Amino acid sequence: MYSVLFTLIAITCTTFSLLAQKPSVPMKDVRGFKEKLVNMTQKVSTIESDFVQEKNLSVLSNKIISKGHFCYKKDNNIRWEYQQPYRYLIIISNGKIFVRDDNAQKQYDIQSNKMFQEMNNFISGCIQGDILHNDRDFTISYFEDERHYFVSLVPRAESMRNMLNEVQIWFSRTDFTVTRINMVEPGGDYTNIAFSNKKLNTDIPAEKFNFK
């Protein structure tokens, strides 16, 4: 279940190659970047996007490639739907996490588990841009190039570092939405997700976030 939650981080933060180099030039105006990011998130009520996920495991010779569709609606309603090569659905809404595949479905109460709470707060912080103000829980570094702003978040708590070494987020310089996110695990395995065909402030029916 925790692997599902780490995958959900990727939603929040939209080419597709981990081999693309990270920007190495320190960001010139971090404060201005944060302000513009917050201003953008305050104006966005819904987000829709396609995604491609690349999972690299050291025990496998080939990467695992998945594709699907993502929806977000204020406040903290998330639908993460894998469509290829298998179908898998994750919904976060009203303090609950709902997971369904072809064989079964499960529902979890976020408040029932401290890790669920921490990961949900992390997800919400990414969506709202608040995560970049959280120097208490993360060591945050800022870089940029001609196309992207790049942010690296390294967890301070040992309990978190045992599962997640670093979260790398690429933001578009044009609209401050996330173009790509990479989650690096302690052993070197990683999950890289690229988002495309983004649509902001569309009318997403509330039924998309029902547990049915």
How does residue 17 score in pLDDT terms, banded at 50, 70 and 90? very low
What residues does each domain of the chain span? 2-209
Other C-beta atoms closer than 10 Å to the C-beta of 201 total 11
Right CATH for 2-209 from 2.50.20.10, 2.40.110.10, 1.10.3720.10, 1.10.8.60: 2.50.20.10
Residue 30: closest CA among 164, 137, 129: 129
Other C-beta atoms closer than 10 Å to the C-beta of 32 total 10
- Average confidence (pLDDT) over 177-189: 85
Using CA atoms, how far apart are residues 181 and 11, in angstroms rounded to an integer?
A: 9
Residue 117 token pair: 């709470």
* Inter-axis angle of helices 30-43 and 114-128, nearest 10: 100
Q: pLDDT digits over 43-96, tens only?
A: 889 989 999 999 888 777 788 899 999 998 988 788 989 999 989 998 988 888
Other C-beta atoms closer than 10 Å to the C-beta of 4 total 15
pTM above 0.75, yes or no: yes
Mean pLDDT, all residues of the chain: 81
How does residue 125 score in pLDDT terms, banded at 50, 70 and 90? low
Q: Is residue 12 over pLDDT 60?
A: no
pLDDT of residue 208: 92
Q: Is residue 14 over pLDDT 90?
A: no
Q: pLDDT digits over 141-172, tens only?
A: 999 998 899 999 898 888 778 888 888 888 88
